[in-house]
Structure 1
Amino acid sequence: MTTIQEALTIAVRHHQGGRLEMAADIYRQILRVAPRHPDALHLMGIALRRRQPLEAARLIREALTQNPELTEAHLNLGNVLQDLGRIGDAAACYRRAIALRPDFDLALPGLAFCLRLLGRLGEAATIYRRAVALGPEVAETRNGLANCLQDDKRYDEAVSGYRAALALDPFHASAGNNLSIALRELGRIAEAERWQRRAIARDPTFAAAHSSLGITLQEAGRLEEAVACQAHALVCDPGFTAAYNNLGNSRQAQNRLAEAILQYRRALRLDPASPDAHRNLGIGLLLDGQFSEGWREYEGRLRCKDAPVLADLPKPRWTGEPLAGKRVLLHSEQGLGDSIQFCRYAPMIAARGGRVVLGVQPALQRLMKGVVRPDAILSGSVPLDAFDLHVQLLSLPLLFGTTLESIPARVPYLFPEPELAAQWAERLSPHQGLRVGLVWAGSPGHGNDRNRSLRLEAFAALSRLPNLTLFSIQKGPSEGLAATPPAGMRLISLSAEIRDFADTAAIAANLDVIVCVDTSVAHLCGALGRPTWVLLPFAPDWRWLLGRDDTPWYPTMRLFRQNRPGDWEEVLERVEEALRAKAAALPR
């Protein structure tokens, strides 16, 4: 007669040979004889992991009830829970395995992976480094560490990590593809493309590599090729949600919004909870002027991995209910321009009976004095006792049911400091003719800066127009260029005298027109009610809509759009013609 241990040995042999049905049948026979046998329960759970994960989890838990010291069972329960998307519970299982065996090299990467998914990147990287120290020859562990570094935007370190993984395993597909993504983030587009094509050459069915190549080609402006790559990724894997998202992004970059929206909806059919798909659909709908659904879908941004928002405040979020004197923190979540654009809703909160506390970036603190009481404008860390409810500024259009027709567009809603404006009026009074402010570049850290910013020399012809003086009000890394403009360019730089947006506002109040790219100064000057001319790339940000040279957000603003991707020359010719006409109309 075969003993239980002998039967278990035979079952494990089948299990290791991939004959799961035969192994499972023997485990069942053992459990009929010994229903609480921990090893049989554990191994039966492993055998059922892919087909019946809930039952697998139940069996492994029962095994641990019988023997809590079964280290491998804690590991495998963590694996099953990770498969089920229960990341926090999985991490707890891996921790218990490591507590029992601190050098358990199989549990460490599992724990690190879960911590990465939970956004705890520093802790995840520390655990991965422990795993690398225990198993320096394991390429997958090095790939996992590099993924953490990449998520933390430490791209140079990530590149080194991926190269270390590939040195151990030159055919590690994921490491090669991830390396290409890090290189793309560093702006090394040609290198990224080479790695992606190498991955595809080795495995033409590698959907993620086709999709990554599509993103790289899109960033290089090769839009039709990008579309083809995303379509090929979906041929390789019709269930690849990210490729539908990326295909939508490529179509949106071509201003083919109906097709972009269709792809985002397809992504959501596959993964209804996808925050990226909801956000992207929202952006496409808003760009198309479909505000009602667009604002709802745009809320997906708050769940995206890269969302720079205060998501975990231990106070309730305002959802539109009556306020009855409660203090509502309206906090910034994205760029300076977004804060300027959407602070217009602060008086509407007050009209609903709320007391506004405005949390903005330090550079805006002085400017915002005209929006709410000065003592209600905060920057940096906001004390919890300063507010009762909170909401992100960009969620206010949804809560107020904003449509194209109901945008609160009365300007000005921001104002320069009178004394400061008077000082600048005196400073600029010697300059006769048309006084034109210039901002040619946005923040280099902006995701679309390569498409929206120009070089200073592109504006040289404007400075030579008669009856016109060009002033630099540029801030940021490019402002120093105004001190030594290109040869023959007449430009007066005011940049060094600008400390924050209150200074820019006072200067703008004394300019006849501000010419700028799509950056925060455009929003500032629009909010001040100043004549503002904004130069837009072919595929603009969602707030500018399509097919119009005005904007319902800022009545005094005029938009100059590219007619072809990357063609700023024709845009500047139109700006030059319009400035020439405006300058000629002034009295000499």
Structure 2
Amino acid sequence: MFGADRPETDGQRLRAQGDRLGLEGRYDEMLALADDLLKTRPHMGEAWLLRGDALKGQDRLEAALEAYGKAIASPQTAFDAHYGRALAFDDLGRLDEASMAFEAALALRPDAPLPRFGLALLRLYRRAFAAGWDDYEDRWRSEVFVAGCRGVVPAGMAPLLATRVTPADLAGRRVLVIGEQGVGDELMFSSMIPDLARIAASVVCVTEPRLVRLLSASFDNVTVTDPSGGSVDADIAIAMGSLGGAFRREAADFPGAAYLRPRPEVRARWAERLGPRRTRLRVGISWRGGTAGTGQHSRSLTLDQLAPVLDRGDCEFVNLQYGDVGQEVAAANAGRANPIRLFPRAEIDDFEDLAGLVANLDAVVSVQTSLVHLAGALGQTTFALLPHRANWRYTASGETMPWYGSVRLIRQAEPGAWAQVVAQAAAALDSL
């Protein structure tokens, strides 16, 4: 398959094949392919890089670091190997080494957007907000980010977005602000829309369709629409995340106050739907978050693992988990004196409806997912169950996150250690 007389072409072909296997999660095949090549070509940088990527995909991070170290010796793969090492160090929580590896990649390619974006997330994770937001703007120069994370930003519009904006750039102007990345990001970033509305001449917000009703009900003097709303006459267009560099440059800039609210009639409808209270507390639960590409395996648990919470007799539990979980909940409810209540997905698919339900509860217990952002934005008491290496939005340490004053963070002491986290959440309900 790979000819010994054409190493450069072979390397390109190997990378393309590795990319295809990686996108499909076929890490065993990636590793086998790399190892077969290394038997006859032990100094082939692309093979070592492929081995590192495969091992990282298998969460064998120390072995991945060793493979990336071999790939650094080849000029053709040194940049990608430094970048791969940075991601592996980050996953291991070795943040200083991750930062140095990102810097090493940038030393080879100073204009490369992905290492700069990686540094941004590290800085935001460590609450170095000003420097983090400045580097965060490089995300729009990355084809990888634009292809997979642009949210409702049209691909062709990405180069037209204003970046590194200041309040002075926005004051008195007609501003188009567009949602990006996932629903949780849009919920979190929308906390800065009131800051924008106070200084702009007008604000039009284009967001994910399921958020239109909730954001419309929450923000005065802001026009909220989805991508089907047609063209907008504006002086400047920005992505939601770019508001961070304008309005959240220091820890003191985060108000931590509730900023979303469903309409009173939506909240009242859910109060009637829930009916009379039979227990001391009503608690919403979510136990699974993310996708295979965003760390679902490390940030999710099962209903069996959540049993110390669910076994509390003074609580009525309400399912807030996204997706079709009917069979899962039915199995967990078997023989349970206080079964988890499950409403049809269609009743909570729109986020204003979900917000109306959450607003009628006493607390939320959730893994790292968009529900934490919704509950925090509503000012609802929330216990967020976090993996050892939490997402940057939750920052590196502490029980609080800057975005929401009502959210308490409960972190794993070591990777995979959910038992203590769940026990702490169960005990925390005593304080309500």
TM class by shorter-chain length?
Answer: 0.7 to 0.9
Deviations 1:424-446 (A, max 9, x none): 22333233222110111224365
1:460·1:486 contact (CA, 8 Å) conserved in 2?
Answer: no
Within the alignment, does 1:425 sit opposite 2:274 as a pair? no
Match of 1:500 in 2: 350
Match of 2:60 in 1: 222
Within the alignment, does 1:441 sit opposite 2:288 as a pair? yes
Match of 2:299 in 1: 452
Deviations 1:211-266 (A, max 9, x none): 23223322322221122222221134487111111111111111111111111111
Match of 2:424 in 1: 574
Q: Which structure 2 residues correspond to residues 5-84 of structure 1 after superposition, within 5 A?
A: none
Structure 1 consecutive aligned stretches of length 4 or more whose deviation exceeds 6 Å: none
- The AA in structure 1 aligned to 2:392 is W
Question: Secondary structure of 1:204's partner?
Answer: coil
CA distance in 2, matches of 1:176, 1:510: 55
- The AA in structure 2 aligned to 1:422 is A
Match of 2:404 in 1: 554
Structure 1: tracts of 5 or more residues without a match:
1-138, 141-164, 166-170
**What is the percent sequence identity of the aligned residues?**
30
Q: Which moved more, 1:208-217 or 1:529-538?
A: 208-217
Match 1:264 to one of 96, 102, 127: 102
CA distance in 2, matches of 1:177, 1:501: 41
- Relative distance call for 1:385 and 1:369 in structure 2 (3 A) is closer
CA RMSD of aligned residues (A): 2.7
- The AA in structure 1 aligned to 2:162 is R
Question: Secondary structure of 2:251's partner?
Answer: coil
- 1:528 shift after superposition: 0.3
Question: Secondary structure of 1:565's partner?
Answer: coil
- 1:375 shift after superposition: 7.2
Match 2:394 to one of 538, 541, 544: 544
CA distance in 2, matches of 1:316, 1:475: 32
1:245·1:267 contact (CA, 8 Å) conserved in 2?
Answer: yes
Deviations 1:67-117 (A, max 9, x none): xxxxxxxxxxxxxxxxxxxxxxxxxxxxxxxxxxxxxxxxxxxxxxxxxxx
Within the alignment, does 1:362 sit opposite 2:209 as a pair? yes
Match of 1:412 in 2: 258
CA distance in 2, matches of 1:193, 1:488: 45
- Relative distance call for 1:354 and 1:201 in structure 2 (3 A) is farther
Q: Which moved more, 1:471-480 or 1:266-275?
A: 471-480
Match of 2:374 in 1: 524
1:322·1:352 contact (CA, 8 Å) conserved in 2?
Answer: no
- Relative distance call for 1:316 and 1:494 in structure 2 (3 A) is closer
- Relative distance call for 1:354 and 1:453 in structure 2 (3 A) is farther
- The AA in structure 1 aligned to 2:264 is P
Question: Secondary structure of 1:366's partner?
Answer: helix
Deviations 1:101-137 (A, max 9, x none): xxxxxxxxxxxxxxxxxxxxxxxxxxxxxxxxxxxxx
TM-score (norm 1): 0.66
CA distance in 1, matches of 2:385, 2:306: 12
Q: Which structure 2 residues correspond to residues 320-469 of structure 1 after superposition, within 5 A?
A: 320=166, 321-323=168-170, 325-373=172-220, 376-400=223-247, 402-409=249-256, 411-428=257-274, 429-444=276-291, 446-469=293-316
- Relative distance call for 1:349 and 1:374 in structure 2 (3 A) is closer
1:247·1:263 contact (CA, 8 Å) conserved in 2?
Answer: yes
- Relative distance call for 1:261 and 1:323 in structure 2 (3 A) is closer
Q: Which moved more, 1:380-389 or 1:363-372?
A: 380-389
2:197·2:222 contact (CA, 8 Å) conserved in 1?
Answer: no
Match of 1:291 in 2: 129
Question: Secondary structure of 1:493's partner?
Answer: coil
- The AA in structure 1 aligned to 2:260 is L
Higher RCO (CA-CA < 8 Å; seq separation 6+) = 2
Q: Which moved more, 1:278-287 or 1:417-426?
A: 417-426
Question: Secondary structure of 2:143's partner?
Answer: coil
TM-score (norm 2): 0.88
Match of 1:195 in 2: 33
- Relative distance call for 1:485 and 1:534 in structure 2 (3 A) is same
2:202·2:221 contact (CA, 8 Å) conserved in 1?
Answer: no
Q: Which has the larger radius of gyration?
A: 1
Match of 1:181 in 2: 19
CA distance in 2, matches of 1:400, 1:302: 19
- Relative distance call for 1:374 and 1:482 in structure 2 (3 A) is farther
Deviations 1:39-72 (A, max 9, x none): xxxxxxxxxxxxxxxxxxxxxxxxxxxxxxxxxx
- The AA in structure 2 aligned to 1:202 is T
- Relative distance call for 1:479 and 1:194 in structure 2 (3 A) is farther
CA distance in 2, matches of 1:298, 1:209: 31
- The AA in structure 2 aligned to 1:500 is D
CA distance in 2, matches of 1:479, 1:538: 29
Structure 2: tracts of 5 or more residues without a match:
4-8
Within the alignment, does 1:248 sit opposite 2:93 as a pair? no
- Relative distance call for 1:233 and 1:323 in structure 2 (3 A) is closer
CA distance in 2, matches of 1:176, 1:269: 25
Match of 1:281 in 2: 119
Match of 1:159 in 2: none
- 1:407 shift after superposition: 1.8
Deviations 1:442-489 (A, max 9, x none): 243652222222233322342221211211011225465334436445
- Relative distance call for 1:342 and 1:487 in structure 2 (3 A) is same
Question: Secondary structure of 1:390's partner?
Answer: strand
Question: Secondary structure of 1:330's partner?
Answer: strand
Match of 1:100 in 2: none
- 1:495 shift after superposition: 4.7
Match of 1:213 in 2: 51
2:387·2:412 contact (CA, 8 Å) conserved in 1?
Answer: yes
1:463·1:470 contact (CA, 8 Å) conserved in 2?
Answer: yes
- 1:325 shift after superposition: 4.0
Question: Secondary structure of 1:381's partner?
Answer: helix
2:279·2:314 contact (CA, 8 Å) conserved in 1?
Answer: yes
1:435·1:512 contact (CA, 8 Å) conserved in 2?
Answer: yes
- 1:287 shift after superposition: 1.1
